Chains A and B, each alone.
Chain A
Amino acid sequence: MNWLQAIIQGILVGGQYALFAAGLSLMFGVMRIVNLAHGGLAIVGAYLCSVAMVGLGLPAPLAILLALIVMGGVGYALQRFLLDRTMGSGEFVTPLVTFALAIVIANLLFELFTSDVRSLQVGGLGTASLTITGSISVGLIAVIVFVLAVAILGGVQLFLNRTSLGRVVRATADDGATVRLMGVNHRVVFQTVTAFALVTATIAGIAFGIQSSFDPNTGTVLLLFAFETVVIGGLGSLWGTLVGGVVLGVSQTLAAQVDVQYALLAGHLVFLVFLFVRPRGIFPGTWQG
């Protein structure tokens, strides 16, 4: 095994974590909501994709598209019918409701799909690899996911900073009451943000399902990764999220070089070190989009 290869793999995995974290970070930034069902919903997306491919026999791109559309709708409905009701009623109601939702999702998946581990088979793409030098090669899909993550994070950043709709989102995050006076329907903004957050979570969930395997409890692990990514990176910017994901990913792959069972542990320990030493993350500051 090779340390340099581990670092490169860690960076690529970090992109995936950043993709998981982007939705979490965005929802917190705009609505001050911490959605504890974020990981669970990402895995629901992966299961949807799996059912569409295996059950309905759809080709992979179509199945992925279907999962993304459905999960976008789920995000819209989640915001409209559940989170809108919880947002006004105290700081703890939304986390508790979404935590209960996460428990419901995990157990529902368990009843529907058993605890059997599954993964998404996308043919040659899933196993193809790129050789960088003689001894270092990385999975093609990992590179694609990383590029996708950077593109999505950059796109969101550009959208928020350069478009009028993005300005509305930022204004809603800053002062929802005033935005309402300006004639903006803040609820539509919230629904759009949640729908978008779940679409990005689903992309990340499907990417995870292709490269690795998942079961009904994977959502918990992914939620913790996304959360750690956000805290390590700091709530400063979406690029901070990317750095946070890379720090987490690299610490996991480096620890896995020593022994695979240390991978998750190392990630958590790095997070705890940040919590004690630098609780506001690498890029501290208020959320600006």
Chain B
Amino acid sequence: MTDMRSSHSQTATAPSGTWRITRLDTVSRVALAAFGVIVVLLAFLPFVFAAPAQNVMTSIFLLVAMASMWNLLAGYAGLVSFGQQAFVGVGAYCLLVLVRAGLDPYLAVPLAALASFLIAIPLSYGLFRTRGAYFAIATWVVAETFRLLVITVPALGGGEGATLPATGYDPVTRTALTYWTALVVALTSLAGIWLLLRSRLGLDAAAVRDDEHAAFALGVSSDRARRIPYLVSAAGFGAVGAVLFLSNLRVEPASIFSVNYSANAFFMALIGGVGTIEGPILGALVFYGLQFYLSSLGSWYLVILGLLAIVVMLVIPEGIWGWASRRTGAVLFPIGYRLRPGRRPPAAKDGENR
């Protein structure tokens, strides 16, 4: 994307003793505490609200997971993919196979994610030979190939698709369990991305994203720095696909391998802010809101969303959160370090060092 900030700058040239280097500041501490409270409240939601509200939240969790996982690729690893629906489909069909084999559907979700991860390994060796927009379209071809392959397998329902076998759970329990699974998928995605980006690998990925040749000169393997985020993103989309199947109870090749999953993830990440952790969460909420209010418009909705994405890209390419963060200096989930005066918590102004 444009405006790729140099994450993780760590300049400690000030006199020692009066300055310190920290990740968290007051804003991020409060944000993390508030986030923890919200998560606890969300965990209890199925005991208070009925199925319709739970289904809404399940959709939002899956949107957050997809937007974040797409952002991990585009915002941090410098890989734009229009083919993440390949893993949505792989996840859903793996769940089908595992449940048919007698496995509990909720235990099958992590295995579906693992399957996506494993399938992504050989794919990455071919796909990483392409760069930029060519990578984006090559991933799309892979997704189409998977769709066409599934159609040729009658055991998977061919082009018609398949229905989830009876799971032994009553509808109320099933809705709640699906809700919790979606919550776990979203939280695991966010936590995984945060931890990944705080690690050495996050630094490598950001370096490769910003300048591949300079990173290479410093001994950073660009393929490795890209591969891990790519595989993690595949696993995330795989988990989302499995939960989508649990939620819809039906899977069809044409819709589960639809490019709209990548398009929507891209729109959410872009509108919220690519290259930030907070952006895709905000983007997912905005996206769901738009979807809710514009659902009566049918396909016009995607027309409006596409035009909105183009305008955002031209006018505020850093997205809503990126723009707000630059203005206020607030970072809720910091992955970089900042230099601060020693004693009292400062009013953060420097939005550059994230």
Q: Which residues does A use to contact B, with CB under 8 Å?
A: 34, 36, 82, 85-86, 89-97, 99-101, 103-104, 107-108, 110-111, 220, 223-224, 227-228, 231, 261-262, 264-265, 268-269, 271-272, 275-276, 279
Contact = CB atoms under 8 A, between A and B. Distances in A.
Given A107-B300, A107-B302, A34 B132 contact: yes
Given A34-B133, A223-B137, A224-B144, A275 B127 contact: yes
A201 to B, nearest CB: 16
Contacts of A97: 310, 313-314
Given A100-B313, A111-B298, A275-B126, A92 B137 contact: no
Looking at A85, A93, A96, A223, the one whose CB has the most chain B CB atoms below 10 A away is: A96
17 contacts: A34-B137, A82-B310, A89-B317, A90-B3, A94-B133, A97-B313, A97-B314, A100-B267, A100-B313, A101-B306, A104-B306, A104-B310, A107-B299, A107-B302, A227-B138, A272-B142, A276-B126
A262 B78 CA distance: 34
Contacts of B305: 103
A224 B141 contact: yes
Contacts of B152: 261-262, 265
B313 A264 contact: no
Interface of B: 1-4, 74, 78, 80, 82, 125-127, 129-130, 132-134, 136-138, 140-142, 144-145, 148-149, 151-152, 259-260, 263, 266-267, 270, 298-300, 302-303, 305-307, 309-310, 313-314, 317
Contact of A99 (B127, B263, B299, B303): B263
Nearest to A269: B145
A97 B133 CA distance: 11
Given A92-B132, A93-B1, A224 B140 contact: yes
Contacts of B259: 220
Contacts, number: 128
B84 to A, nearest CB: 13
B74 A92 contact: yes
Given A92-B78, A93-B2, A268-B141, 9 more contacts: A82-B310, A99-B263, A101-B310, A104-B310, A107-B300, A111-B303, A224-B137, A227-B138, A275-B129
B303 A104 contact: yes
A275 B138 contact: yes
Given A101-B310, A224-B144, A269-B145, A92 B303 contact: no
Contact of A107 (B3, B136, B303, B309): B303
Contacts of A99: 82, 136, 263, 266
